[in-house]
A = this chain, B = another copy of it.
């Protein structure tokens, strides 16, 4: 079996990252990762008449960038595995239309980057495809409109809220003799600890991150210090603290090797309360800062845990709590594979 423990897929052929790219909006471009992003937009509408079309264009740009970075053409990509937050994941489907690549739509809310990498790595490792591109996107304005309030209302944001990242990340995977490798991945279960506050996504998602991290460590019989970076997608300040507490309760200390993309994305002066969120958050940080550090060998082994809140506005209106999920992917620098 190419599996260890209950839920961890092991990719023995070690699919490699042969291309990656990140594109973010102007606000993200003034944040902590500015020097790492491949492209920072000056105009977050990308010249499109609606924010939904802008989001789709953002994903297209990013996937195109990753494919170019891999020195390939879209016609050489066997499959695009992508998803996003829009109803019916239209940003991904419309991008797949423009790019004209065989397409598998996936949905894991803000866990989508990890899910797409997991499915992509399976296709490469199982020798079903030569080149796969894995991607996701989110846009502050389309997400606010769909999940919260019209921007024009100028609604006050509560202190536990996070700021949806305008950004996209894309990774091209292939069989290759060198490069950063994806060596394993843990499929998450839905975790719902009865949080109903849609303005506290970090609190809702932390238990999912905890359960997947716990499962992953047990499946592989390792301790957190096996990784020099354990990186959650977008728990934000509050959610990260909850995760640290939950692990502490199990007697496991998450130390300086733990970080959260949502917490790190923006500067404190940018006034985003608990930090960033959105599937573009983890995706853009992974495909810039993290992959650069894996390539320049300042990082050896990274566990990327992307978390998603699987709610819809309607399920909240109908009184449901927020089911969440986290998928984890292991990336290793080429000398540590």
Contact of A122 among B101, B128, B192, B310 (CB under 8 A): B128
How many interface residues does chain A have, given as a range? 35 or more
**Given the complex of chains A and B, what is the CA–CA distance between A100 and B93 in angstroms?**
29
Query: Is the pair A187, B107 in contact by a Cβ cutoff of 8 Å?
Result: no
Tell me, in angstroms, the Cα distance from A9 to B104 when the chains sit together.
13
Tell me the bound Cα distance from A102 to B107 in angstroms.
14
A residues 72-107 in Cβ contact with B at 8 Å? 78-79, 83, 85-90, 93-94, 96-97, 100-107
Interfacial residues, chain A to chain B (CB-CB below 8 A): 1-3, 6-7, 9, 49-50, 52-53, 78-79, 83, 85-90, 93-94, 96-97, 100-109, 115, 118-119, 122-123, 125-130, 187-190, 192, 310-315, 318, 320, 323, 325
User: Is the CB–CB distance between B50 and A318 below 8 Å?
Assistant: yes
Least CB separation from A212: chain B residue: B102
Pairwise interchain contact B318-A52, C-beta atoms closer than 8 A: yes
Residues in B whose Cβ lies below 8 Å from that of A128: 1-3, 9, 122, 126
A-B contact pairs, 17 of them (CB 8 A): A6-B78, A7-B102, A52-B318, A85-B88, A87-B313, A89-B107, A89-B310, A97-B192, A97-B323, A100-B190, A103-B187, A104-B115, A104-B119, A105-B108, A105-B325, A122-B126, A122-B128
Of the residues B1, B78, B102, contact of A127 by C-beta under 8 Å: B1
Assess the B314–A52 pair: CB atoms within 8 A: yes
- Say whether, besides A104-B115, A107-B83, A52 and B93 are in contact (CB < 8 Å): no
Q: Which of B86, B102, B108 contacts A312 (CB 8 A)?
A: B86
Least CB distance from A48 to B in Å reads: 10
Which residues from B are CB-within-8-Å of A318?
Answer: 49-50, 52-53
Measured CB to CB, the nearest residue on chain B to A147 is B88
Checking B53, B107, B311 against A105 with a beta-carbon cut-off of 8 angstroms, the contacting residue is B107
How far is it, in angstroms, between the C-alpha of A314 and the C-alpha of B94 when the chains are bound?
13
Contact of A2 among B87, B109, B126 (CB under 8 A): B126
Distance between A79 CB and nearest chain B CB, rounded to angstroms: 6
